[in-house]
Structure 1
Amino acid sequence: MTNGPISGSFQQGLTGSPNPAHPVRDDSTITGTALGKLTSTSVSPLAAAAEILFLPLIAVILGFIFNPGDPLWIQASFPWSWFAPVILALRYGPLAGLGGAGLLLVAWLLANIGHYDTFPKLYFLGGLILVMLVGEFSSLWLARTRRAETVQIYLDQRLEHLTRQYYLLRLSHDRLEQDLISRPMSMRDALLTLRGLGENPDGAHGGDTLLRLLAQYCQLESASLHQVIDGEVQDRPLATIGTTTPLADGDPMIAQALASLALCHISQVQAEQQERTRYLIVAPLINLNGDVYGLLTVEDLPFFSLQDETLQTINLLLGYYTDGLAVHALAASVCEKIPLCPPEFAFETQRLWHLRQTTGIGSIIVALEFLPRAIDADLPMQLMRMKRSLDEHWLCAGAGKMVLATLMPLGDVATAEGFLARLEAWAQQKSEGTLAQLGIFPHILPLHGEPPLTVLKRVQELADG
C-alpha cells in the first residue's frame, strides 16, 4: 500500500507547496528583470501619471543638454524627443502617448514664445500619427495579454482542483482496496454462509462463523457473543474474536440495548455514561417473533468503521442469523394459510421482510407467469435450473398455467430488471423471440410495506387467475 507517500503528497497539494505533479508558475522570474518591469502594467495610477509627466520632461531636458539650439530635434535627422510619447503609448495605450505628446507641445510653446508663426506642423502631425499607431498596437496586445492571463489563471485553478481531486481519488482507491482485502466476499455470499447455521442454536460453530463474518465486513477487532437465557445475559461468551474482557455487569450500554431491544452505539449514550461503558457497540440478537437469543458486544474497531453502513451491516447479519434459529416457527404461519408454498420459500420471505423492517434493505420477488404453450415447452423447469445460489424458487401450479416465483434477497427493482433483461437475452438466443412470444409474462413484487402473507397470496392469485 502507498498511503504514506500519497498522504504527504496530498497535504502538499492542499497547502500549495511545490509538487512534482503540480508545477507552480514562478512569476518573479519574469517580473524581476528590467525588461519585465518595463513591460509590466500592474502599476498604480499615481506611478503611471508620474511616468507620463516625467518621461517627456526628461526627453526635453536631454535635448537642452545635447542640442540647446533645437531641444526637440525638429531640424535634426531623427526626432529623438518622440521616444518618450512612443514609450508611454507602448506601455499604457494611446491616451498616455497623447499626454506625452501634449507635454512636448507645451515645451515647444514655452521655448518659442512670440514665434508661434514657425510652428512645425508636419513634425507634430507625424509624431501624433506615430503615437496613435503605436498606442493602437499596444491596446490590442494588452487586451490579448489580459485575455491570455485570465485563461492561464483559470487553467491554473483547474489544474490545482484536478490535482486535489486526483489525490483524493488515490486515497479513496487505497481505502476501497483495503476494504476489499478485509471483505473479500459479497453480502450475498455472507448470507449464504449464515443460511443453515440456525439449526444448531446452542453450538459454538454458528457463533464463531457469525463473528468471523462480522470481523470481515465490519472490521471488528475485539468482540464477544453471549447467550441470553430467560432475559439474563450469560457471563461466559459463546464465541469471541480478538482480545476481550469478561462481561461487565451493570454496563449502561448493555442495559440500554436490552431495554430498547435495538442496537446501541457509543454516540447514543449520554456523556456521563460514555465514561462508564467499555463497549463501542452492543446489539441484541432478536428474531421476527421478538425473542432475544443473544447479545453482541464490541469493544474495539477502527475509528472510520463506526458509521451508519457498519451499523446497518451488523443489524443485517445478526437479524439474518437470528431468524434462522426459528425457521420452522416462522414458516408455519405462512404454510398454514398457503399450503402450496414451500417452507423454505415462506421462511426466507418472512426473514427478508423482517430485515427490511429492521435495516431498510429490501428484497424483491419476480413472478413469471407461464401460459400453456410455455408449459408444454418445459420452460418453467429450464428457468428453475438457472437459479442463483441465494435465490429461492416456488413453482405454483394453477388452472391451466403456472407461476414461477423467484425470491431475490437484498434486491430492488433494478435487480429485477437486470434479471428480466438476462431472461430476454436467453429467450432471444433460444428462439429468436421475446418472453411474451414464448408465453412468459413477468410480474415484480417488492417486499416493502406489505406483509409477506399478502405478497405470497398475490403469487397464488396469479396462478389461479
Structure 2
Amino acid sequence: MSSASGNVRPPETSAQPRAITGASFTGSPLGKLAPTGIRPWIVLLEAVLLPALTLALGWWLNPQDPLWVHADFHWAWLAPMIVALRYGPLAGLLSASVLLAGWLLLHHGQDEPFPQVFFLGGLILVMLVGEFSSLWVARTRRAESVQHYLHQRMEHLIRQYYLLRLSHDRLEHELIGRPMSMRDALKTLRGLGSMESDAQTLLRLLSQYCQIGAAALYRVDGDQLDTQPLSSMGAPITLDNNDPLVRQALETHKLCHVVQTLALKQQSQYLMAAPLLDLGGDIYGLLLVDDMPFFALQEENLQTINLLLGYYTDGLSTQALAQPLLQHWPDCPAEFAFEMQRLWHMHQTTGVPSMVVALEFTPTAIERDLPQQLLRLRRLMDETWLIQGERRALLAVLMPLGDSATAEGFLARLENWIHQKESISLADAGIFPHQLPLSQTPPLGLLQRLHEIADAQ
C-alpha cells in the first residue's frame, strides 16, 4: 500500500563491530596482528613495563640471578607471555627484547656465557603464545562481526514486521469500513435514476465505501448552490458559496480537495468538493465533504469517489447515453448500449478500463445450443448481446471494470466448464474468443467490429 510506507533504512553493509573498527591502530605492524580497542602507546607501555617490573622483582628477590636463568622455572618469561597473549607475537617479542636488554645490562663487563637455550626456548614459547593469541583474536573479531551483522538484520526485520503490522491494521480497518466490493457498489448505483429520491442512497454508499463521515449533496443552479441540501449525513454542514474549494470545483468542473487550496495559501472549511457532471459537462450538483479519516484522503480513494459519482450521474441519462448507438444498431439491447457508453465515459474521466469478450460460434456449436448455455454462465454485472450472423453467431460479453486478466479468467472458467461437460476444449467445441478492450476503441467502433466478426465468412 502505497503508503504505510515509513521508509526503512537498509542495514549497514559493514560487518565490523564498533569496538574493533573504531580504535584499531591503522598503519602500525603491531596493530595489524593485534587489532584491539587499546591505544598503541598503551600497548607499548605494557610491553616495556611488564618485563621491566619482572626484572626489578627478580633483582629484589634473587639478586644473583634476576632472570632465573638457572632456576627450576624461568619466571621471567611470564611477562612476555602475558603481553603476547594479550596483544600478539610482535608485542611479545618487544617484551622479550626488554628481558634481553636487561640481561646485557646486568652482565655488562662480566665474563659469563650468553644463555642461548634460555632465550631461544623463551622466544619460541612467546611466539607460540602470540600465534595462539592472534588466532583467537581473529576468531573473536569474526564472531563479533557476525553478531553485529545479525543484530542489524534483526533490527531491520523488527522494523519490517512493525510496518507490516501497521499495514495489516490499516487494511483491516479499511476492510471493516468497506463491507462491499466495487462491483457491489456499481450494482447498487445501477438501479438509481432520480437525483432527488436517491441522493441519500448515494451518500450512504460513499460513506460505506469511501469512509466519508460528514457530507452534503447540493443541487447547482448556474454557479450557485441551493441553500438546502438534497441530502446530508453526519454533522450538519454550513453552506458557503464563496468558499475557495467550492469556487474551484465549480470553475474547473473537477474534484478538488483541501491540499489544493493549501497549496494556493487559501483556507477552506471543507475537505473535498466533487461535482456531478452530465454528458455535456454541465454540473448537476456538488458533493461537499466535511469529515473523513486522514488516511482516506489519498489518490486512490479520491479516484473511487470520482468513479462512483460519474457512474451515478451517467445513470441519470440512460436514454441520452444509449441513443447514439441504438440509431446505428437498432438490434443492440438498450442496456448493453447504455452500459457500454457509461463505461466508456467512466474510462475517459477516471482511467478505469473495461473489456468486451466476443465468443464466436461455428454452425456446429450453434446446433448444440452452446450460445444459450454460455449465456447462463455470465457474471452478475456483465451485459450480453447475442448477434446472429449469416453463418455464425457471436456472443458479446461486456465486463465492467475488467482488463485482459479479467477476460483471461473468464475464458479459463469457460474452458474448464466445457472440459468438464464434454472433455473437449473451446476450439474443439467450435467456440473462438476475441478480446476487445473498451479503453482502446470507442463504443460505436467496437460495435462495428462485433458485427464484422459475426458476419465474417
CA distance in 2, matches of 1:254, 1:421: 48
Aligned to 2:408: 417
Query: 2:224·2:241 contact (CA, 8 Å) conserved in 1?
Result: no
1:352, distance to aligned residue in structure 2 (A): 1.0
Aligned to 2:235: 243
SS in 2 for 1:202: helix
Match of 2:218 among 221, 226, 232: 226
- Which deviations, in whole Å up to 9, do the C-alpha atoms of 1:209-261 show, x marking residues without a partner? 11011111221111001123455422211110101234223223222212211
Structure 1 residues without counterparts, runs of 5 or longer: 1-9, 15-26, 28-38
Aligned to 1:216: 208
Query: 1:60·1:72 contact (CA, 8 Å) conserved in 2?
Result: yes
SS in 2 for 1:340: coil
2:65 is equivalent to residue 70 of structure 1: yes
SS in 2 for 1:268: helix
Opposite residue 240 of structure 2, the aligned amino acid is: A
1:115, distance to aligned residue in structure 2 (A): 4.1
- Which deviations, in whole Å up to 9, do the C-alpha atoms of 1:334-356 show, x marking residues without a partner? 11112232111111111111111
Structure 2 residues without counterparts, runs of 5 or longer: 1-5, 10-18, 20-33
CA distance in 1, matches of 2:265, 2:41: 68
SS in 2 for 1:237: coil
1:99, distance to aligned residue in structure 2 (A): 1.3
1:448, distance to aligned residue in structure 2 (A): 1.5
- Which deviations, in whole Å up to 9, do the C-alpha atoms of 1:402-455 show, x marking residues without a partner? 221211111111211222222222232222232222222221111224312112
Cα separation, partners in 2 of 1:119 and 1:439, compared to 1, 3 Å: same
Q: How does 1:48-447 map to 2 (within 5 A)?
A: 48-115=43-110, 118-198=113-193, 200-203=194-197, 206-229=198-221, 232-269=224-261, 274-275=266-267, 277-447=268-438
CA distance in 2, matches of 1:171, 1:389: 35
CA distance in 2, matches of 1:66, 1:40: 36
Query: 1:281·1:297 contact (CA, 8 Å) conserved in 2?
Result: yes
CA distance in 2, matches of 1:424, 1:144: 63
Opposite residue 225 of structure 1, the aligned amino acid is: L
SS in 2 for 1:197: coil
1:117, distance to aligned residue in structure 2 (A): 5.6
1:195, distance to aligned residue in structure 2 (A): 0.5
- Which deviations, in whole Å up to 9, do the C-alpha atoms of 1:286-308 show, x marking residues without a partner? 13332322111111222222111
Which segment is superposed worse, 184-193 or 355-364?
A: 355-364
Q: How does 1:36-51 map to 2 (within 5 A)?
A: 41-51=36-46
CA distance in 2, matches of 1:103, 1:398: 110
CA distance in 1, matches of 2:111, 2:47: 25
CA distance in 2, matches of 1:375, 1:57: 110
Aligned length: 428
Opposite residue 344 of structure 2, the aligned amino acid is: W
CA distance in 2, matches of 1:117, 1:340: 128
CA distance in 1, matches of 2:328, 2:223: 32
Q: How does 1:18-37 map to 2 (within 5 A)?
A: none
SS in 2 for 1:185: coil
Which segment is superposed worse, 440-449 or 176-185?
A: 440-449
Opposite residue 341 of structure 1, the aligned amino acid is: C
CA distance in 2, matches of 1:116, 1:145: 48
Aligned to 2:25: none
SS in 2 for 1:42: coil
CA distance in 1, matches of 2:422, 2:44: 88
CA distance in 1, matches of 2:440, 2:251: 26
Cα separation, partners in 2 of 1:270 and 1:125, compared to 1, 3 Å: closer
1:68, distance to aligned residue in structure 2 (A): 1.5
- Which deviations, in whole Å up to 9, do the C-alpha atoms of 1:79-137 show, x marking residues without a partner? 11111111122112111111111111111111111347611111111111111111111
C-alpha RMSD over aligned residues: 2.2
